Structure 1
Amino acid sequence: MDKSEESASALSFTDNISIAWSKIDYQPDEAHLALVNESNESFLRAVSAISEFSKETSDSSNPALSQELARLDLKLNLLLDLVGQLIYSQLDIPDISRVTVSSAQVDWQDGSVPEPGSIVFVQVYIQRGTPKPLCFYGEVVSSPDDYRRGWARVRYLGLSESVQVWLDKLIFRHHRREVAYRKSSSP
């Protein structure tokens, strides 16, 4: 791993989120990867737009407009949460695990994890209240010892440059929030 890859994968966020995986018996071709990348880019753009909306409205030079937009934002978030809860109750969303998402891979611990060296399709529910997961193909790069302890480490396969950029933005935003939370929690 060169220095640029090392620094890119250094940022990560860890959260209690749902994750599912399935072993595949084929190497994903360009058509599969293109479909997954298109869906992921759209999803990551939407997550970014939802996350950044509040910050943009607070910078407004018109306080009345800013207040009204913030009120509408809260109502929309409440509506999205309620719809998300309804959909979650109808879907078979996996149990929550402690998951670490980085620029290069996803790590988690569970009672059932994929074997080292296998190719898997992974679904990570990174946005609470949204029943749409971030999906990707990956190669399991866990060590045999990690596997015996129930740890999985899956490196992304075939992420497009655009998806990688949006994923890095998401990771940075989450990381920044973790740091701010730790600072506000410490005496």
Structure 2
Amino acid sequence: MSDKDSPLESITITDVLPVDWQQLSDMPSAGEQLRLQRANEALLQNLLLSSNLPEEGEESEDAKAHEHFTRIEARLDLLVDLVTEMLTSNGTLPPARSVTIGAHGLAVHLEDDAADTFPGNALLLIRLYLDPQFPRPLQLYARLLVQQEQGFTVRFSPLEPRLQDLLDKYIFRQHRRAIALARQGENNSFTTI
């Protein structure tokens, strides 16, 4: 099966994340699509930057500057945490569901809820909160591929190359992190004496 057949054939990540969707009758205007692409690029850049922290033991060229930026970053993290807490306490995030994310599509797995019924090849706007502590969704237009009672799979509408590259990097980094955590868990289970 080629990548054209299955949007989830390459590297994927599976997680429980806030996600919702809206059925659309038509694609929005080119201007609206461009604004959404730019917002998605900014979101992914921020998520990639926040997870690209220096490794333990790395030397900084200017220790004072590094320390100063670390303090500023801590203050910004606190501010983001406070805003996140405020927004989540107001119930603005959608329910968290099990999702599998690939570079070209998404599968939503519904445990207790029956999936909405969509016409074949329905156009959807998917809003996926990749980091619930950063309450800003990745919003992607997608076409319904498979619909089952307990979920559905969509293929993302073609993304601009820059956004596709950022999404690929994010998925790869999260996939690599999940493998490292799994290996760390395996190593910890064998070190009990």
The interval holding the TM-score normalised by the smaller chain is: 0.7 to 0.9
* Segment drifting more, 90-99 vs 108-117: 108-117
Q: 2:124 aligns with which of 117, 120, 123?
A: 120
Q: Is 1:140–2:144 an aligned residue pair? A: yes
- What does residue 185 of structure 1 align with? 185
Residues 87-108 of structure 1 show CA distances to partners (whole Å, capped at 9, x for unaligned) of 2223521111011111010111
Residues 44-87 of structure 1 show CA distances to partners (whole Å, capped at 9, x for unaligned) of 11211222144499441455655554455444323322221112
Return the offset for 1:27: 3.2
Q: Say which one has the larger Rg.
A: 2
- What does residue 16 of structure 2 align with? 16
* Coordinate RMSD, CA, aligned: 2.9
- What does residue 81 of structure 2 align with? 81
- What does residue 166 of structure 1 align with? 166
Return the offset for 1:164: 0.4
Note the residue ranges of structure 1 that are not aligned, 5 or more in a row. none
CA contact (8 A) 1:40 1:135 kept: yes
**Distance (Å, rounded) in 2 between the aligned partners of 1:185 and 1:129:** 24
CA contact (8 A) 1:12 1:171 kept: yes
* Segment drifting more, 9-18 vs 162-171: 9-18
SS in 2 for 1:10: coil
CA contact (8 A) 1:18 1:97 kept: yes
**Distance (Å, rounded) in 2 between the aligned partners of 1:101 and 1:172:** 11
**Distance (Å, rounded) in 2 between the aligned partners of 1:6 and 1:158:** 14
Return the offset for 1:7: 10
**How many residues are paired up?**
183
Note the residue ranges of structure 2 that are not aligned, 5 or more in a row. none
1:34-113 → structure 2 map (5 Å cutoff): 34-55=34-55, 58-62=58-62, 66=66, 69-70=69-70, 72-110=72-110, 111=113, 112-113=115-116
Percent identity reads 22
**Distance (Å, rounded) in 2 between the aligned partners of 1:34 and 1:59:** 40
SS in 1 for 2:106: strand
Letter of the 1:136 counterpart: L
Letter of the 1:95 counterpart: P
Normalised to the residue count of structure 2, the TM-score between the two structures is 0.81
Residue 43 and residue 56 in structure 1: after superposition, are their counterparts in 2 closer, same or farther (change >3 A)?
farther
Residue 16 and residue 72 in structure 1: after superposition, are their counterparts in 2 closer, same or farther (change >3 A)?
same
Return the offset for 1:5: 9.1
Residue 73 and residue 31 in structure 1: after superposition, are their counterparts in 2 closer, same or farther (change >3 A)?
closer
